[in-house]
Amino acid sequence: MEHLDISENGLPAHAKRRVMGADMRPQSPKGSRVPDAKIQSTQDWADHILRIRTKDQAAFKELFAHFAPRVKGFLIKSGADEALAEECTQEVMATIWRKAEMFDPSRAAVSTWIYTIARNRKIDMLRKRRRPEPEDLPWGPEAEPDAEDTFSMQQETQRLGEAIRALPEKQRQLVEKAYFGDLSHSEIAEETGLPLGTIKSRIRLALDRLRHQMK
């Protein structure tokens, strides 16, 4: 089974660089890797989280303006009414502030991290239970994220986003429904009137394509 190797947790200690500054891109990127505007924006959000660690309210306000309306949209799509979605959005955003120390930019993009926090809150909200989480990987606050890893993780995630945007509309809708509609695969079949086998193979196809474009 082929897997994306994205849980790799950095280079040996001697290869690590401190990246607590505002700019986490490597000082001299390998080859001619010049970030385009979109990579820059993904990178920016990672920088925002590092600023939030130092209790920078201006950084938090910008992050809030971008992500809070999307988190609320996600919760409404998942079945929350307006008031509940608003309440949970505020809690998700507060959790982002409170967990800023725990964000590892070499392991996930900010959008990925925020998605997991919003998703967990959704389960809590709809099912009144907590989601069992895998054991934490052994890394602590003393292990600084590697700049090179951080850069490529942000870049890969950016490319994934582009790949999803490039999917044919039908496939995109199915993936979106699987994530946001709180529907099981058989429920998706009922909703669209398509046989289950078709749905499953379409999702598989969409995922296959995503993966290939990630390589």
Partner 1 sequence: MSDIKHHLTDQLLMAYSAGTLPEAFDLIVAAHLSMCDACRAAAESFDATGGALIDDLASADLSDDSFAATMRLIEDAPMLTAPKPRKKGVLPAPVQDFVGGDLESVKWRSIGMGVKQAIIPTEKDATARLLYIPAGCAVPDHGHRGTELTLVLQGAFQDETDHFGPGDIEVADEDLFHTPVADIGEDCICLAATDAPLRFRSLLPRLAQPFLRI
Site for partner 1 in 2-61 (CB under 8 A): 3-8, 57, 61
The Cα 190–Cα 93 span in angstroms is 34
Which of 97, 194, 209, 213: binder of partner 1 (CB under 8 A)?
A: 97
Which of 118, 146, 147, 148: binder of partner 1 (CB under 8 A)?
A: 118
Burial 61-81 (b: 16+ CB within 10 A, else e): eebbeebbeebbebbbbbebe
Burial 115-150 (b: 16+ CB within 10 A, else e): bebbbebbeebeeeeeeeeeeeeeeeeeebbbbbbb
CB of 147 to partner 1, least distance (A): 20
Which of 105, 122, 145, 150: binder of partner 1 (CB under 8 A)?
A: 122
Give the range of 13-21, 28-36, 94-102, 189-197 binding partner 1 by CB under 8 A.
94-102
Q: Closest CB to partner 1 among 32 and 142?
A: 142
**Interaction pattern, residues 168-197, with partner 1; x per rule: CB under 8 A:** -------xx-xxx-xxxx------------
Decide if 96 contacts 89 (C-beta within 8 A): no
The Cα 132–Cα 2 span in angstroms is 25
Which of 20, 33, 186, 204: binder of partner 1 (CB under 8 A)?
A: 204
